[in-house]
Amino acid sequence: MELFLIVVVLLFFLAVTDLVVGVSNDAVNFLNSAIGSKVANRTTIMIVASVGIVIGATFASGMMEVARKGIFNPQFFTFTEVIFIFLAVMLTDIILLDLFNTFGLPTSTTVSIVFELLGASVAMAVIKVMNNGDGLAAVGTYINSGSALTIIVGIFLSVGVAFTVGAIIQYLTRLLFTFNFQKNVKTVGVIWTGISLAAIFYFLLIKGLKGASFIPASFTAWTSQNTVLLLLIAFAVMTLVAFILDRAGANILRIVVLAGTFSLAMAFAGNDLVNFIGVPLAGFEAYNAWSASAESPDTFLMTALAAKYPAKTYMLVIAGIIMVVTLWLSKKAQSVTETEVNLGRQSEGLERFSSNALARGIVRLGNRLSRNTGKKVPDKWQEKIDAAFEPVNHKAEYGKEYDPPAFDLVRASVNLTVASILIAIATSMKLPLSTTYVSFMVAMGTSLADRAWGRDSAVYRVSGVLNVIGGWFLTAFSAFTVAGIFAWCLFNFRGYAVAGLLVLALLFIANTFLYHRRSEKKKARIIAARKKGELVPAQQIIQETCQQAAKGLSTIEKSYELTVRGLINEDLKTLQKARESMVELKSNTDEFKFTFYGAIRRIKEEMGEGSRTYLLAYDLEQDISQSANFIVESAFQHVNDVLLPLTQVQAEALESLSRDVKAFLAESAAIIRTEDYTNLPRLLKAKQPLFDKIEELLALQSRGIQQQAYSARNSILFFNLLLETKDLIAVAARFVKLYHRLKNDLSPDTPWVLVGGNGKG
Which tens digit of pLDDT belongs to each residue from 407-465? 788 888 888 888 877 877 776 665 656 777 888 888 888 888 887 776 667 777 788 77
Taking the C-alpha atoms of residue 690 and residue 89, their distance in angstroms, rounded to an integer, is 60
Cα distances from 489 to residues 72, 478, 485, in angstroms, run 19, 16, 6
| Among the ranges given (134-138, 349-353, 418-422), the one the predictor scored with the smallest mean pLDDT | 349-353
Q: Which of these, 691, 695, 761, 678, lies nearest to 728 by C-alpha position?
A: 691
- Measured at the CA of 105, the angle between CA 41 and CA 55, to 5 degrees, comes to 50
Residue 68, pLDDT > 70, answer: no
| Residue 523, number of CB atoms within 10 A of its CB | 16
Stronger pLDDT, 40 or 395, i.e. the higher one: 40
Taking the C-alpha atoms of residue 541 and residue 622, their distance in angstroms, rounded to an integer, is 19
Cβ(56)–Cβ(268) below 8 Å? yes
pLDDT score of 445: 86
Collapse the DSSP code of 751 into the 3-class scheme (helix H, G, I; strand E, B; otherwise coil) and give the result.
strand
pLDDT score of 594: 53
pLDDT (tens digit per residue) in 281-314 = 888 888 888 888 878 888 888 887 776 666 677 7
φ, ψ for residue 377, nearest 5 deg: -95, 130
Q: Which of these, 126, 119, 111, lies nearest to 88 by C-alpha position?
A: 119
pLDDT score of 661: 92
pLDDT score of 753: 39
Stronger pLDDT, 643 or 356, i.e. the higher one: 643
Q: Average pLDDT of 587-609?
A: 51
| Among the ranges given (567-581, 588-602, 711-725), the one the predictor scored with the smallest mean pLDDT | 588-602
Torsion of CA 189, 413, 172, 388, to 10 degrees: 70
Q: Which residues lie below 8 Å from residue 575, measured CB to CB, with a gap of 6+?
A: 562, 563, 566, 567, 632, 635, 636, 639, 640
pLDDT score of 328: 84
| Among the ranges given (662-671, 672-681, 685-694), the one the predictor scored with the smallest mean pLDDT | 672-681
Residue 351, pLDDT > 80, answer: no
pLDDT score of 515: 77
Predicted confidence band of residue 211 (pLDDT cuts 50, 70, 90): low
pLDDT score of 236: 92
pLDDT score of 482: 93
pLDDT score of 481: 92
pLDDT (tens digit per residue) in 618-641 = 777 778 888 888 999 999 989 888
Where are the chain's structural domains? 2-340+356-523, 536-745
Q: Average pLDDT of 335-347?
A: 65
Residue 240, pLDDT > 70, answer: yes
Contacts 24+ apart (CB under 8 A), 519-523: 519/102, 519/335, 520/331, 520/335, 522/587
When the pLDDT of each residue in the chain is averaged and rounded to a whole number, the result is: 78
Residue 759, pLDDT > 50, answer: no
Please report which residue ranges of 605-760 form alpha helices under DSSP H. Answer: 611-640, 648-674, 680-706, 712-745
Residue 537, pLDDT > 50, answer: no
pLDDT score of 429: 64
pLDDT score of 203: 75
pLDDT (tens digit per residue) in 604-617 = 443 444 445 566 77
pLDDT (tens digit per residue) in 473-509 = 888 888 899 999 999 999 999 889 989 999 998 898 8
| Sequential DSSP letters for 528-590 | HHHT--S--BHHHHHHHHHHHHHHHHHHHHHHHHHHHHHHHHT-HHHHHHHHHHHHHHHHHHH
Predicted confidence band of residue 535 (pLDDT cuts 50, 70, 90): very low
Residue 536, pLDDT > 50, answer: no
pLDDT score of 84: 93
Burial of 369 (0-12, 13-18, 19+ CB in 10 A): exposed
Q: Average pLDDT of 77-82?
A: 89
Taking the C-alpha atoms of residue 121 and residue 118, their distance in angstroms, rounded to an integer, is 5
pLDDT (tens digit per residue) in 360-404 = 787 788 777 777 777 777 878 778 887 877 777 655 554 455 567
pLDDT (tens digit per residue) in 6-30 = 888 888 888 888 788 777 777 767 7
Stronger pLDDT, 605 or 145, i.e. the higher one: 145
pLDDT (tens digit per residue) in 726-739 = 999 998 998 888 88
Stronger pLDDT, 503 or 517, i.e. the higher one: 503
pLDDT score of 609: 41
pLDDT score of 196: 86
| Among the ranges given (82-91, 343-352, 493-502, 651-660), the one the predictor scored with the smallest mean pLDDT | 343-352
| Among the ranges given (253-262, 581-590, 625-634), the one the predictor scored with the smallest mean pLDDT | 581-590
pLDDT score of 280: 85
Percent of the chain with pLDDT over 70: 78
pLDDT score of 347: 60
Taking the C-alpha atoms of residue 275 and residue 90, their distance in angstroms, rounded to an integer, is 10
Architecture of domain 536-745: Up-down Bundle (1.20)
Burial of 60 (0-12, 13-18, 19+ CB in 10 A): buried
